[in-house]
Amino acid sequence: MSRIPARSPLRALAVAACCLVVGGPVGTVEAAPPPDTVEVGTTAQLQAALAAASPGQTIKMAAGTYRGSFQATKPGTAAKPITLTGPADAVLVNDGPSGEAPDCPAPTPGWDSGYGLWLSGAAYWNLTGFTVRESKKGIVVDASPHTTIDGVTVDRIDEEAIHFRRSSADSVLKNSTVTNTGLVQKGYGEGVYLGSANSNWACHGNSGGVDRGDRIQVLGNHIGPGIAAEPIDVKEGTFEGVIKGNTFDGKGISGENSADSWIDVKGIGYTIEDNTGTFSEPGTFANGYETHNTSTNPSFDNGCGNVWRNNKSDLGGVGEYAIKISSTAKCKARPNVVYASNTVTGAKAGLTNIPVTP
């Protein structure tokens, strides 16, 4: 049998042919799939991981302080959400804002929003465990439905702590702690903000001109003390959320920009149940829960169709009603309902200003 010399051209061709069969067409290189878990320990690593995030991936932060601008703009999917997680001593801090801001907030080169963490167009994210501190705003969720925030801490924030904005519907905030907001802008220092004021729909009304932050659930959180505006502000044009099992500490509510209650309810069809609220001075406190019937275009039954059940309220001898309904006439089609299972102590006037439902 004849043999091909080791250095002959024929041998080289034979080797190439072998490689073509085994490896596929010449010039085709399959990219490695992204890793399931990306571990980060520095600001630069976290920023890079957020920028490159892919469905199903977990970004795991080590303990430490991460100081900078942190944005996520890549969505997950229902089957493969993206997770950002870390221990409570993994702390995000943003010293901004800086640069020239656009007319409406959107991730923009050269502009740092000052937000501690910003999801923008990033649906199906899970945020768990870590802390956001010392930022203009805490966590802002823009156009990012199906976001779940679980077990986070937000503290020492210039304005609001957690804001679901631009129709970030079907999201959940649970088992989290929010304290000390509105350090610079007391009237904008909400603990949790659902939707947008209709005066801001020109920027944030991305659902037929409306910010439809519908069906958001706020479950089992501890909000306060030191919340300069409302612990929760439910904005007009939002529907059918659930606020359940939370603890509200009203100490420090400022009274600025009409902030004088645990929750302002301008939304429609909310269930508010199993919450515990207290108030002690210093602070300004009118009522535990209030409805407001804001006029909007398009028009909605704002502040109507909401239900209060099994809430415990201690107004500290300062507040008037546990549940103050601003208007029954404007809500004839969708009346608000206050059940007898709600209880109150320390109220100047009583449980509510409307008939109680057994």
pLDDT in tens, 308-341: 999 999 999 999 999 999 999 999 999 999 999 9
Give a yes or no: residue 7 inside a domain.
no
Residue 14 pLDDT grade (very low, low, confident, very high; cuts 50, 70, 90): very low
Give the HSE-up count for residue 342: Cα atoms under 13 Å, Cβ half-sphere: 27
CB 86 within 8 Å of CB 65? no
Q: What is the pLDDT of residues 242-273, one digit of tens each?
A: 999 999 999 999 999 999 999 999 999 999 99
Q: What is the pLDDT of residues 141-180, one digit of tens each?
A: 999 999 999 999 999 999 999 999 999 999 999 999 999 9
Q: What is the pLDDT of residues 18-59, one digit of tens each?
A: 333 344 455 667 778 889 999 999 999 999 999 999 999 999
| The two three-digit tokens of residue 325, written as one number | 């309904």
The amino acid at residue 128 is: T
Q: What is the pLDDT of residues 195-209, one digit of tens each?
A: 999 999 999 999 999
- How many domains does the chain contain in total? 1
Q: Give the DSSP letter string of 208-254.
A: TTB---TT-EEES-EE-SSBSS-SEEE-TT-B--EEES-EEE-TT--
pLDDT value, residue 26: 54
Structural domain for 147, as ranges: 35-352
Give a yes or no: residue 24 inside a domain.
no
Give a yes or no: residue 133 inside a domain.
yes
**Is pLDDT at 10 greater than 60 in this prediction?**
no
Q: Is 23 left (phi over 0), alpha (psi -120 to 50) or beta?
A: alpha
Mean pLDDT value across residues 211-218: 99
pLDDT value, residue 220: 99
User: What are phi and psi for residue 49, nearest 5 degrees?
Assistant: -65, -40
| The two three-digit tokens of residue 168, written as one number | 């970030």
The amino acid at residue 265 is: V
pLDDT value, residue 101: 96
CB 305 within 8 Å of CB 268? yes
CA distance linking residue 40 with residue 32, whole number of Å: 20
Give a yes or no: residue 318 inside a domain.
yes
CA distance linking residue 57 with residue 38, whole number of Å: 8
Give a yes or no: residue 297 inside a domain.
yes
| 126-141 as b/e: b if 16+ CB within 10 A | bbbbbbbbbbbbbbbb
Residue 228 pLDDT grade (very low, low, confident, very high; cuts 50, 70, 90): very high
β-bridge partners, 83: 58, 126
What percent helix, strand, coil does the chain show, rounded to 5?
A: 10, 30, 55
pLDDT value, residue 2: 38
> The domain that contains 136 carries what CATH number?
2.160.20.10
| The two three-digit tokens of residue 137, written as one number | 């705003």
Give a yes or no: residue 8 inside a domain.
no
Q: What is the pLDDT of residues 76-120, one digit of tens each?
A: 999 999 999 999 999 999 999 999 999 999 999 999 999 999 999
Radius of gyration of the chain (CA): 26
The three-state secondary structure class of 326 is: coil
- CA 200 vs. chain centroid, Å, equals 18
Give a yes or no: residue 12 inside a domain.
no
CA distance linking residue 157 with residue 95, whole number of Å: 11
**Is pLDDT at 16 greater than 80 in this prediction?**
no
CA distance linking residue 327 with residue 304, whole number of Å: 9
Give a yes or no: residue 1 inside a domain.
no
**Is pLDDT at 3 greater than 80 in this prediction?**
no
pLDDT value, residue 33: 84
Q: Could you say which DSSP state residue 150 is in?
A: E
CB 125 within 8 Å of CB 119? yes
pLDDT value, residue 24: 44
Mean pLDDT value across residues 58-82: 99
